[in-house]
Structure 1
Amino acid sequence: MLDQAQLQAVNEKLANATPQEILEWAIDNLDGLYQTTAFGLTGTIAVDMISKISKARGTSHSIDLIFLNTLYHFQETIDLAKAVSEKYNAKLHNYIPNGVNNVTQFEALYGKELWKTDEDMYDFAVKVEPARRAYEELGVKAVLTGRRRSQGGERAAIPAIEIDETGLIKVNPLASWTFNQVKEYADANQVPYNALLDKGYKSVGDWHSTKAPSGVSASDADERSGRWSDKGGQKTECGLHKDFFVMKRAFEKRKRELELAKKDSEAQVQVQA
């Protein structure tokens, strides 16, 4: 665990480091290191870089992957996750929302279109809780992310290394890269990518909240504009990088309310019968 002084020193040391140098530092210095990824372009090239580092050191792929399957991903994303894992011989850990196995069960528990009725509850159920469950079960102490400053929003000032409110260390190896740098690397190294990128998408999330941004040549500032486009730019993160404890309390409160409402509804039906 890094204290604040050590964290500051590390970020100063890595301020001008390449993504590969940041990855090597993480591999050499952090225990319980995994890569959480939704297989966006930044995430897949990080896998490629790790593969090259591992081969240069004469080892197998040194960082396991964690994929949070929300049950609402595009099929192209599911296919890509499998392809990347197989190409790089990287172990893939799949996690889905707790207590369900499919969309039908999820909607029976939370109702239809939860992302519309309560987006924070949705984010916690499909991303935050599964992630924390993965971290506990796998002994995760540090994670690699695909966040970059050029994506804007809450990511605009991220350092190479962060520590969240739970003590989890987050490594952002490509924080300083632009979308063009990411795309150039992917093309030059034949990195697998989501087929939706060929249809104009630059960032891909769940099918219900993702669309291609207007214009394939959109600037970096617009890179994630296709995500949560119905929120008018008010939403830029899915919950993984927000305060865990705040989200957990809100989720538990809302879930209790839903359970009470369901019981009241069932009681009304019995009375009417």
Structure 2
Amino acid sequence: MTVSIAFDLDRLNQQFETATPKEILAWSIENVPIGLVQTSAFNVDDLVITHILYTELKHPVPVIFLDTLYHFPQTLELVAKAKEIYNLDLQTYKTPDLDSRKAFAAKYGEALWDEDITKFHQITKIEPLLRGLQELNTTAWITGRRRDQAVTRANMPIFELDNLGRLKVNPIAASTRKDSWGYVAEHGVIYNPLHDQGYPSIGDEPITTKVADGEDERAGRWRGTAKTECGIHI
């Protein structure tokens, strides 16, 4: 199914280049009244967006979380805490018919990410996400990506289309890591304690490592490989 979004992206990106995340999200709420969702890995940037939507704009939207079965325990605890605090409309998607690491390993091997990282992400992230977007009748989805997270994201627009014609909104594209943490400090936003332990970007436990001073904040994702994205945003 292809979703048609009739927006002038060039004009929108020019108009909102210097806008605040709140202004970008407010525009999205007004102009996408049906089918607006947030995708969240519950990293600090995602929670900044959730806080703006649920607390400042008071406009709860469905929040898609992909349970890969390999998240850190701290991440799952944070998801539960955020659901309670914000009364989140949480929509969790995972690999069908599998509910544990043991079941996943029995079907796909003990370390599929080492054997075929692309297949691992297709099974645990891409397929569940696409299914979730479709089941929620999504016309636009909000991401927590920033340009300064990695060189591969340096030219990311605020508004873009995915390959099915859905609008993708990147409200903090022009923000910085310092901006996100400043917002957290000002508004008391909850965050993953792993961020204080050398993990600026948190993915699946077996393939996320600590980041050293001077490295890109996403350097700890898929370390030792040439991979820079899981495939969701390609």
TM range (shorter): over 0.9
Q: Deviations over 1:81-132 (max 9, x none)?
A: 1111211122111111123121122122222211110111011100000001
State TM-score, norm by structure 1: 0.81
CA contact (8 A) 1:80 1:193 kept: yes
Show the counterpart of 1:44.
47
Show the counterpart of 1:180.
178
Secondary structure at the counterpart of residue 225 of structure 1 = coil
Q: 1: CA distance between counterparts of 2:17 and 2:197?
A: 35
Structure 1 counterpart of 2:174, one-letter code: S
The root-mean-square deviation of aligned C-alpha atoms, in Å, is: 1.4
Secondary structure at the counterpart of residue 143 of structure 1 = strand
Q: 2: CA distance between counterparts of 1:183 and 1:213?
A: 17
Q: Deviations over 1:194-249 (max 9, x none)?
A: 0111212111100011111013xx4xx61111111121xx211111112xxxxxxx
Structure 2 counterpart of 1:51, one-letter code: Y
Show the counterpart of 1:122.
120
Show the counterpart of 1:167.
165
Deviation at 1:137, TM superposition (A): 1.4
Q: 2: CA distance between counterparts of 1:230 and 1:73?
A: 20
Deviation at 1:144, TM superposition (A): 0.6
Task: Give the counterpart of 1:111 among 98, 109, 112.
Answer: 109
Q: 1: CA distance between counterparts of 2:103 and 2:138?
A: 28
Secondary structure at the counterpart of residue 65 of structure 2 = strand
Secondary structure at the counterpart of residue 224 of structure 2 = helix
Show the counterpart of 1:236.
228
Q: 1: CA distance between counterparts of 2:198 and 2:116?
A: 29
Query: What does residue range 140-159 of structure 1 map to in structure 2 within 5 Å?
Result: 140-159=138-157
Secondary structure at the counterpart of residue 106 of structure 2 = helix
CA contact (8 A) 1:98 1:129 kept: no
Unaligned runs of 5+ in 2: none
Q: 2: CA distance between counterparts of 1:95 and 1:87?
A: 21
Show the counterpart of 1:62.
60
Q: 2: CA distance between counterparts of 1:150 and 1:70?
A: 26
More helix by share: 1
CA contact (8 A) 2:26 2:57 kept: no
CA contact (8 A) 1:11 1:159 kept: yes
Secondary structure at the counterpart of residue 229 of structure 1 = coil
Secondary structure at the counterpart of residue 8 of structure 2 = helix
Show the counterpart of 1:227.
221
Structure 1 counterpart of 2:92, one-letter code: N
Q: 2: CA distance between counterparts of 1:17 and 1:52?
A: 19
Q: Deviations over 1:142-185 (max 9, x none)?
A: 11100000012321111111101111211100001111111111
Secondary structure at the counterpart of residue 57 of structure 2 = helix
State TM-score, norm by structure 2: 0.94
CA contact (8 A) 1:77 1:194 kept: yes
Task: Give the counterpart of 1:11 among 10, 13, 18.
Answer: 13
Q: 1: CA distance between counterparts of 2:56 and 2:16?
A: 17
Task: Give the counterpart of 1:28 among 27, 30, 35.
Answer: 30
CA contact (8 A) 1:150 1:178 kept: yes
CA contact (8 A) 2:5 2:166 kept: no
Task: Give the counterpart of 1:89 among 82, 87, 90.
Answer: 87
Q: Identity over the aligned pairs, expressed in percent?
A: 39
Structure number with the bigger relative contact order (C-alpha 8 A, sep ≥ 6) is: 2
Deviation at 1:52, TM superposition (A): 2.9
Unaligned runs of 5+ in 1: 56-60, 243-273
Please say which of residues 98-107 and 43-52 is displaced more in the overlay: 98-107
CA contact (8 A) 1:153 1:236 kept: no
Q: 2: CA distance between counterparts of 1:177 and 1:142?
A: 20
